[in-house]
Amino acid sequence: MSAGTDTAHDGALATPGAALPVPLRLLIGGAWVAGDGAPLASRNPARPDEVVAEGTQAVPADVDRAVRAARATAREWARTPIHARGAVLARAAAALEERADQLGLELAREEGKTLAEGTGEVLRAAQILRYYAGEGDRVAGEHFASPRRGERILVTRRPLGVVGIVTPFNFPIAIPAWKIAPALVYGNTVVWKPASTVPLLAMRLAEALDGAGLPAGTLNLLIGPGALGTALVRQPGLDGLSFTGSTGVGRMLAGEAASRGVPFQGEMGGKNAAIVLADADLDLAAEQVLFGAFRSSGQKCTATSRLIVADEVADEFLALLTARLDAWRLGDPTDPSVHMGPLVTPAAAEGVRAAIAAAEAEGARVAYCGPSPAASDGGDAPSAFVPPTVLEVGAGSPVGDHAAAGERPASCVPCGNTAWREELFGPVLAMRRAASTEEAFALAEDSEFGLSAALFTRGIATALEAVDALDVGILHVNSESAGADPHVPFGGAKKSGYGPKEQGAAAREFFTHTTTVYLRG
Ligand code: UN1
């Protein structure tokens, strides 16, 4: 439990639903403190006038303080029995479960996803904490025979030490939980920099862990701009960095980490395809493509952003999808009847609108564009809402520079359209038609990313063929491309990921290293 508080923050999980804006604090060395940096206001993207939380940001010098605090407690935490470390996570999970409705509301207000998704995410974070809370009961290392008499060889695990965690806005509590929980349970101490657009939910997770009895300095929370992440990776005292976010920032941090010999784990972009074949249950496929593409306004790295449909069912499938989209309500995400809220900020929405315009200028056909929601109470301020949009690309689109282009059937020609290539992180689905299963798989592979894919078919042989044909980290057969369970590996192939995968036993590969012990009596 933290001590040395220099503000009114008592380290307990505050009661959400209290008057807005909630005051923000950083957690450094066990003290909840105001930052010395610029003021920060976290606004409700559905109601630009509503400030959800406010405070002051950390400055680069705080990174140094936080890393020192994490270093000071690293040895003691590493030697704390893993079951005791897990017990802290279990208590934090219970605290989140108890307040799931209130925290879910705060999440919807701060990030813009629906109340149901927000509450579900809080419960998911608790589930992740519980999974890692049980790590002490699982296999801790390996035991090999020795070629020499009287000797055994053990492979044991050690924590890295002080790890940096940099997390994105789109899962403000679940992604931090799935990095911080394994980091802590394997005996690391943590300096965490969340996206500055979702500081309230970050503070809530840190409060739950702090209130559950983490020793001072074991988890440090720095709220502030991206420059803090760069300062973190440049800290000489840092022993590892786990990042989820944009490809550009991820590659920059990976380069910095590599130049310092610091292990790096990166979960970056996705341009995930849903492939609907002629033998699919089209109604099920339409439901799942809708969820994959438009839940959370498409702001998931696992979102379905490309749709590949077999020629013979393409029009029928589009009609089914469009009918569902017609019943899809946009609006204030805290209204339980709403299916889709705004993007995280008006600026993010502007970027997606510009990309749609670029895609159209490049020849994309608008197959569907939902109605824009009525102007919110933000007056003339730019809206954070973007309606669900389906763009058919292909025939008329500029063709990318691809060596194999000349050898492929026409429909398989790599497509250079912005909506097909770039991760837009919004409710935009780029569609192409395929003349055969082989073409459909080739189109799915026409991306530098390889995070997830969804295949809709009734054919088991086709599904098995997809396992070999698609270079992705996650393959869904007859379900949407998003989603992840805490006990199995999560991460991408190709340029979607870097370093060991996340979650389940895979997380151990990043957050620990091995010691091989040659043991003679
Ligand atoms: C999910 O699909 O439920 O940033 C999780 C992201 C991913 C997490 C996806 N790292 O969207």
Q: Is 312 labeled as catalytic in the residue annotation? A: no
Residue the block writes with tokens 């292990």: 263
Residue in 185, 132, 131 with CA at minimum distance from that of residue 163:
185
* Percent of the chain residues past pLDDT 90, beyond the cut: 89
The more confident residue out of 126 and 378 is: 126
pLDDT band of 19, cuts 50, 70, 90: confident
Q: Count, in order, helices (H) and strands (E) of the chain.
A: 15, 23
Q: Is the CB of 417 under 6 A from ligand 1?
A: no
Which residue type is seen at 288? Q
* Average pLDDT for the chain: 92
The more confident residue out of 377 and 332 is: 332
Q: Residue 150, SS3?
A: coil
Please state, in angstroms and rounded to a whole number, the distance separating the CA atoms of residues 286 and 278: 13
- Identify the pLDDT of residue 372: 79
pLDDT digits (tens, 9 = 90+) for 172-197: 999 999 999 999 999 999 999 999 99
Q: Is the CB of 232 under 6 A from ligand 1?
A: no
The tokens for 241 are 């960095």
pLDDT digits (tens, 9 = 90+) for 330-341: 999 999 999 999
Cα–ligand 1 centroid distance for 173 (angstroms): 11
Q: Is the CB of 302 under 6 A from ligand 1?
A: yes
With the most atoms of ligand 1 within 8 angstroms of its CB, the residue from 171, 247, 267, 449 to mutate is: 171
Q: What mean pLDDT do residues 490-503 have?
A: 95
Q: Is the CB of 168 under 6 A from ligand 1?
A: yes
Directed axis angle between helix 100-111 and helix 199-211, to 10°?
A: 150
Please say if the pLDDT value at position 412 is more than 90. no
Q: Residue 315, SS3?
A: helix
Cα–ligand 1 centroid distance for 117 (angstroms): 13
Q: How far is CA 193 from the centre of its chain?
A: 14
Q: What mean pLDDT do residues 25-39 have?
A: 97
Q: Where are the domains of the chain?
A: 26-268+497-520, 272-485
Catalytic residue among 111, 301, 412, 480: 301
Q: What mean pLDDT do residues 103-129 have?
A: 98
> 26-268+497-520 in CATH: which number?
3.40.605.10
Q: Is 301 labeled as catalytic in the residue annotation? A: yes
> 272-485 in CATH: which number?
3.40.309.10
Please say if the pLDDT value at position 351 is more than 60. yes
Q: Is the CB of 131 under 6 A from ligand 1?
A: no
CA distances from 117 to 104, 121, 148, 177 (A): 8, 6, 57, 16
pLDDT digits (tens, 9 = 90+) for 283-300: 999 999 999 999 999 999
Please state, in angstroms and rounded to a whole number, the distance separating the CA atoms of residues 4 and 26: 13
Cα–ligand 1 centroid distance for 490 (angstroms): 9
Non-local (6+) Cβ contacts of 88 within 8 A are 184, 209, 212, 213, 214
Q: What mean pLDDT do residues 206-228 have?
A: 98
Non-local (6+) Cβ contacts of 371 within 8 A are 330, 387
CA distances from 187 to 3, 98, 177, 216 (A): 21, 26, 15, 14
Please state, in angstroms and rounded to a whole number, the distance separating the CA atoms of residues 251 and 122: 29
Catalytic residue among 121, 207, 267, 423: 267
Annotate 464-501 with b (16+ C-beta within 10 A) or e (fewer). ebbeebbbbbbbbeebbbbbbebeebbbbebbbbbbbb
**Using omega within 30 degrees of 0 as the cis cutoff, is the peptide bond preceding 382 cis?**
no
The tokens for 285 are 């496929």
Going by CA atoms, what residue is nearest to atom 7 of ligand 1?
Answer: 301
pLDDT band of 20, cuts 50, 70, 90: confident
Cα–ligand 1 centroid distance for 204 (angstroms): 20
Q: Could you give the dihedral angle defined by the CA atoms of residues 414, 420, 421 and 423, in that order, rounded to the nearest 10 degrees?
A: -160
- Number of neighbours of residue 430 by Cβ within 10 angstroms: 29
Q: Is the CB of 483 under 6 A from ligand 1?
A: yes
Strands 272-276 and 304-310: parallel
Instruction: Tell me the β-bridge partners of 434.
Output: 310
Q: What mean pLDDT do residues 359-379 have?
A: 80
- Identify the pLDDT of residue 374: 58
Please state, in angstroms and rounded to a whole number, the distance separating the CA atoms of residues 356 and 321: 19
CA distances from 405 to 34, 108, 409, 445, 495 (A): 56, 44, 8, 13, 21
Please say if the pLDDT value at position 199 is more than 50. yes
Answer for the pair 33, 6: CB distance below 8 angstroms, yes or no. Answer: yes
Cα–ligand 1 centroid distance for 171 (angstroms): 7
Please say if the pLDDT value at position 401 is more than 60. no
Q: What mean pLDDT do residues 122-133 have?
A: 98
Q: Is the CB of 195 under 6 A from ligand 1?
A: no
Annotate 262-290 with b (16+ C-beta within 10 A) or e (fewer). bbbbbbbbbbbbbbbbbebebeebbbbbb
Please say if the pLDDT value at position 3 is more than 50. no
pLDDT digits (tens, 9 = 90+) for 438-483: 999 999 999 999 999 999 999 999 999 999 999 999 999 999 999 9
| pLDDT-wise least confident of 33-42, 61-70, 256-265, 413-422 | 413-422
pLDDT band of 394, cuts 50, 70, 90: confident
Cα–ligand 1 centroid distance for 407 (angstroms): 35
- Identify the pLDDT of residue 371: 85
With the most atoms of ligand 1 within 8 angstroms of its CB, the residue from 113, 165, 175 to mutate is: 175
Q: How far is CA 389 from the centre of its chain?
A: 22
What does R_g of the chain's alpha carbons equal in angstroms?
24
Q: What mean pLDDT do residues 495-518 have?
A: 96
pLDDT band of 508, cuts 50, 70, 90: very high
The number of the ligand 1 atom at minimal distance from the alpha carbon of 299 is 11
Q: Is the CB of 171 under 6 A from ligand 1?
A: yes
- Identify the pLDDT of residue 28: 98
The more confident residue out of 374 and 417 is: 417
Please say if the pLDDT value at position 497 is more than 50. yes
pLDDT band of 153, cuts 50, 70, 90: very high
Going by CA atoms, what residue is nearest to atom 3 of ligand 1?
Answer: 483
pLDDT band of 71, cuts 50, 70, 90: very high
Burial of 126 (0-12, 13-18, 19+ CB in 10 A): buried
pLDDT band of 8, cuts 50, 70, 90: very low
Directed axis angle between helix 115-133 and helix 82-98, to 10°?
A: 160
- Identify the pLDDT of residue 7: 40
Q: Is the CB of 490 under 6 A from ligand 1?
A: no
With the most atoms of ligand 1 within 8 angstroms of its CB, the residue from 165, 244, 301, 344 to mutate is: 301
The tokens for 290 are 């809708």
Residue in 327, 73, 334 with CA at minimum distance from that of residue 190:
73
With the most atoms of ligand 1 within 8 angstroms of its CB, the residue from 117, 197, 302 to mutate is: 302
Q: Is the CB of 301 under 6 A from ligand 1?
A: yes
pLDDT band of 379, cuts 50, 70, 90: low
